[in-house]
Amino acid sequence: MKKLMPLLLSAVLLSNTVACSKPSDKTSNASTNTNTSTSGAKVAQSTVPAGTTFDTILSQDLSTAKNKNNDHFTLKVKNSLLGGNSTLKDAQIQGHLEDVVKAARGKKASLHLVVDDITLKDGTAYPIDATLVNTQVETKTKGKFIQNAGIILGGVVAGHFLGDKAKFKHGGLAGGAAATAFVLSSPGGEVVLKKGTDIKLKLKTALDTTS
């Protein structure tokens, strides 16, 4: 009987140890699964898919009468929580002008609007491949501004990237050194984009900030 007592105590202790360990294992697994899920959610939120359309606000006046080639402009993202995706929140897009032509007798005013890169809230910059969907162009004729209904496009041509490649997180450019330029022209008078103009863009290539 005395020999059986230690054996019984050992069995009781062993069963208690196993019983206590099971909930903690489940908790550990649950914690791991939760972390994995949360991590996956963050990754998903960090990518803005191709085809995403969003509005931006022009931060300065642009005009064929006053601006010249390579002048820079900034677009501030307006509706940044597209589909619950906060990646573009407080982002700014940088661009420049090319082939600025002032209105003259027998010559229509026009300019090439080139989008270079996008800088996110945390300061990281990425090349952006976007197309111009719509904007409001104004024409200044005889000292008066005439607001045109929507965009006046003379075409889409190849532009030159003028952004600072060194500031990109991983360097290089998507699609090389070429950029897309959007030609804004006027049938008469100067082409004018006023500060605060809503410029709508659509991503042609997904903006991936996860790598």
**Phi, psi (deg, nearest 5) at residue 174:** -75, 120
| E strand or H helix that includes residue 12 | helix 4-45
The average confidence (pLDDT) of the chain is 73
Distance CA 121, CA 209 (A): 12
Q: Is the pTM of this model over 0.85?
A: no
Q: Could you tell me which of 185, 43, 53 has the C-alpha nearest to residue 109?
A: 185
Residues 180 and 117: their CA atoms lie apart, in Å, by: 12
Quote the CA–CA distance of 88 and 199 in Å, as a whole number: 15
pLDDT band at 91; cut points 50, 70, 90: very high
Better pLDDT: 12 or 208: 208
Q: For residues 139 and 145, what is the distance between their CA atoms, to the nearest angstrom?
A: 6
Q: CA 20, CA 110: separation in Å to the nearest integer?
A: 77
Whether pLDDT at 113 is above 60:
yes
Q: What is the pLDDT of residue 42?
A: 43
Percent of the chain whose predicted confidence (pLDDT) is above 70: 60
Listed by start position, the domains of the chain span 1-45, 51-208
Top pLDDT among 146 and 132 is at 132
Q: Which CATH number fits domain 51-208: 3.30.70, 2.40.128, 2.20.200, 3.60.90?
A: 2.40.128
Average pLDDT of the segment spanning 46-53: 85
The band of 129, judged by pLDDT with boundaries at 50, 70 and 90, is confident
Are 168 and 120 a contacting pair, CB within 8 Å? no
Point out which residues pair with 181 in neighbouring strands.
114, 157
Q: What is the mean pLDDT of residues 45-50?
A: 77
Poorest-confidence range of 28-32, 92-96, 178-182?
Answer: 28-32
- What pLDDT band is residue 180 in, cutting at 50, 70 and 90? confident
- Give the model confidence (pLDDT) of 7-37 as tens digits: 433 444 444 444 444 444 444 444 444 444 4
